[in-house]
Amino acid sequence: MSIALVILLVVIIGGYIIYASLIKTRNTAQEALSGIDVQLHKRHDLIPNLLAIAKRFMEHEKELLTDITALRQQAVNLNAKSGAAEAEKAFQVEAQLQAKMGQFMVQVEAYPDLKSDTQMLEAQRAYTEVEANIAAARRFYNSAATDLKNAVEIFPSSMVAGMINISPMPFFEADEAARAPVNAADHL
């Protein structure tokens, strides 16, 4: 075998390995994003049940319940679309929904009959579990997005990524309102 043939073979095999690695990394990031969607759908399915139980007790809290319902519908609609711009909007709406649900949970504490209702307790437990799963899915997604970003930006895979049009995915970031400390007294 000539040296040129060996070099060509090494370049071809190396290129394929880089290509396969980039595709695998991109697919892992997309799977992680899909994992967030699964958990968000669980949240979206649980919210109407929580609100239905609470409505029996919280008639004068209609504005909060209406806001949550509207944000849930907006989130469902945005999560049905795909693309980086829609993902950013969906992340923002989900953060608003999470903040409103935090307000709702604080309000529930002010209603002794609701607080002790077994259906409400079970729904709250399920909601808390879903929120923990969403947080874990977001951490996994950000890890996968980091791996993809590194693969796309580090030489030599950056050259291959440019040729096959693979780009980094956005990180999930909480908005400013979600970063602010919560004062329960503001919601009572």
Q: What pTM, to 2 d.p., does this model score?
A: 0.69
Task: Select from 20, 2, 72 the least CA-distant residue to 41.
Answer: 72
Q: What's the CATH class of domain 3-187?
A: mainly alpha
Q: What is the pLDDT of residue 82?
A: 62
The answer to whether 143 and 32 are in contact (CB under 8 A) is: yes
Locate the domains of the chain by residue range. 3-187
**What average pLDDT does this structure show over 61-81?**
82
Higher-pLDDT residue of 72, 19: 19
pLDDT digits (tens, 9 = 90+) for 99-153: 888 888 887 777 776 666 777 788 888 888 988 999 999 999 999 999 999 999 9
Distance, C-alpha 40 to centroid of its chain: 7
Confidence of residue 75 (pLDDT cuts 50, 70, 90): confident
DSSP classification of residue 166 = -
Rounded CA-CA distance 174/102 in Å is: 15
pLDDT digits (tens, 9 = 90+) for 17-63: 999 999 999 999 999 988 988 888 888 888 888 888 777 767 667 77
Rounded CA-CA distance 46/108 in Å is: 16
Residue 20: which residues within 8 A CB-CB, separation 6 or more? none
